[in-house]
Structure 1
Amino acid sequence: MEPFSRSWAALRKAVAGLRDEEFGRPSGCAGWLVRDLVCHLVIDAQDVLITLVTPAAEEPTRDAVTYWEIVEAPTGDDPLDALIPRLAAAYQDPALLKFHLDDVGSAAGRAAELADPAVRVGTRGEVLTAGDYLSAYVLEWTLHHLDLIAHLPDAAEPPPEGLARSRELLEEIAGAAFPPSFSDKDALLIGTGRRAPGAAERAALGALDARLPLVLG
């Protein structure tokens, strides 16, 4: 549970430290501004709250790794993806968006701390233990933290333990390890297509290069 709490707290702190003008800058999510990404985080926090109070009696069907699926790159046609920029723009004042994330995000953080990791919960038609569900979200928080600061060079990076755990999850999803020469951050950025590998990095990837990027959904 600790990696979830630290990763989520660090991401929320990074958002709280944003200047108003930075909400209009591009994020690391293609087609989304920083304000759009923050709006998405509000929805993510709501999903965490809903899932943690949705008990399930069935045996788990997914774990922290199989929670994620490799999907096609988004085209912008998904209704929810298309809604996010319009919803984010409706806030107008970035302070309102900050407040909403702090309000819902703090509640999601408290719910995670109180959750029994062995309890089974339901989400997206699947069943997981709360511990596996929250562990899966370490990857979500870490990738979106990198997205948030993609064009904000002075912003704090995700916690090292969150980067390391996210790399482990991504390697398990891929069924292959990234080269030891890759930092955790570079493994995540290159592995998910957020940064193109250089020639030397491509050579180090070997056969794995042909399978990238891993777009997760």
Structure 2
Amino acid sequence: MDLFPRAWSALQEAVRALEGGQWAAPSGCTGWLVQDLVFHLVIDAQDVLITLATTTGAAPSRDAVTYWRPAGPPTGVEAESAFVRRSAAAYATPGGLAHHFDDLAAAAAGRAAAAADPAARVETRDEVFTVADFLAVCVVEATLHHLDLVRHLPGVDGPPPETVAATRALVEVLTGQALPAGPDDHEALRSATGRAPVPAAWGGFTPVVLG
């Protein structure tokens, strides 16, 4: 619960820092520019608001670890990717897209999550989670997409160390393998989640595609 506002606030600040040609720079998501990724974040923020409003009395069916299911690497040509690119390009200016995300992210992180009962149960994608587990999932998604956002933007701050550490710990649980020491946490997470090639020095490490 404590990490969620930290992750979302940092992501908001990174989007606010974007300027000029940075919106048209490639992101760390296959086939997406930075503006495309920010529109995807708009969808994520909407999902947070909708899910926190969709309470249920049913027992949890998944938690912050079992939420994640194996997936293939994105190709950038999926129908969802095409929708995201068209929608991002429909904004008259990047400022309009930034404002849309900022409004939704502030509502999701600053009000809905802060007001939610951690033990309450919510439903999303036909699964039931406690609020605490759902927001833990959101921390991982926000952290990884923050890394995607700044992949080719060295002047924009990355995600907070504490959310990176939490995401790294989850990846190690999901893969059943400790991430090798040496690479910085950002590059280690990119490789471990299929965003960058696995270094030869990692041996037979098998990445898990998340995001």
Question: In structure 1, how many angstroms separate the alpha carbons of the residues matched to 2:187 and 2:120?
Answer: 34
Matches within 5 A, 1:63-212: 63-109=63-109, 110-198=111-199, 202-203=200-201, 205-208=202-205, 211-212=206-207
Shift of 1:115: 0.9
Question: In structure 1, how many angstroms separate the alpha carbons of the residues matched to 2:66 and 2:82?
Answer: 26
1:2-58 Cα deviation digits (max 9, x unpaired): 111101100111001110321111101010000000000000000000000101211
Q: Which amino acid aligns with 2:102?
A: D
Question: In structure 1, how many angstroms separate the alpha carbons of the residues matched to 2:156 and 2:14?
Answer: 7
What is the TM-score normalised by the length of structure 2?
0.94
Question: In structure 2, how many angstroms separate the alpha carbons of the residues matched to 1:140 and 1:160?
Answer: 15
Is the Cα contact below 8 Å between 2:30 and 2:74 reproduced in 1?
no
Correspondence for 1:216: 210
Question: In structure 1, how many angstroms separate the alpha carbons of the residues matched to 2:120 and 2:47?
Answer: 17
Correspondence for 1:54: 54
Q: Which amino acid aligns with 1:86?
A: R
Is the Cα contact below 8 Å between 2:31 and 2:75 reproduced in 1?
no
Is the Cα contact below 8 Å between 2:59 and 2:128 reproduced in 1?
yes
Runs of 4 or more off by more than 4 Å in structure 1? Answer: none
Question: In structure 2, how many angstroms separate the alpha carbons of the residues matched to 1:124 and 1:79?
Answer: 18
Shift of 1:171: 1.1
Question: In structure 2, how many angstroms separate the alpha carbons of the residues matched to 1:85 and 1:111?
Answer: 28
Give 3-state SS (helix, strand or coil) of 2:62's partner: coil
Give 3-state SS (helix, strand or coil) of 1:167's partner: helix
Matches within 5 A, 1:27-42: 27-42=27-42
Structure 2 stretches lacking a partner, 5+ long: none
Is the Cα contact below 8 Å between 2:192 and 2:198 reproduced in 1?
no
Question: In structure 2, how many angstroms separate the alpha carbons of the residues matched to 1:88 and 1:77?
Answer: 15
1:56-102 Cα deviation digits (max 9, x unpaired): 21111111111111211223454322200000000030110011001
Q: Which amino acid aligns with 1:88?
A: A
Shift of 1:176: 1.9
Question: In structure 1, how many angstroms separate the alpha carbons of the residues matched to 2:184 and 2:75?
Answer: 29
Question: In structure 1, how many angstroms separate the alpha carbons of the residues matched to 2:13 and 2:181?
Answer: 30
Correspondence for 2:44: 44
1:101-144 Cα deviation digits (max 9, x unpaired): 01111110121111111001000110100000000111111111
Shift of 1:186: 2.4
RMSD over equivalenced CA pairs, Å: 1.4
Shift of 1:197: 3.4
Is the Cα contact below 8 Å between 2:27 and 2:148 reproduced in 1?
yes
User: More deviation in 123-132 or 171-180?
Assistant: 171-180
Question: In structure 1, how many angstroms separate the alpha carbons of the residues matched to 2:6 and 2:106?
Answer: 12
Give 3-state SS (helix, strand or coil) of 1:207's partner: coil
Give 3-state SS (helix, strand or coil) of 2:203's partner: helix
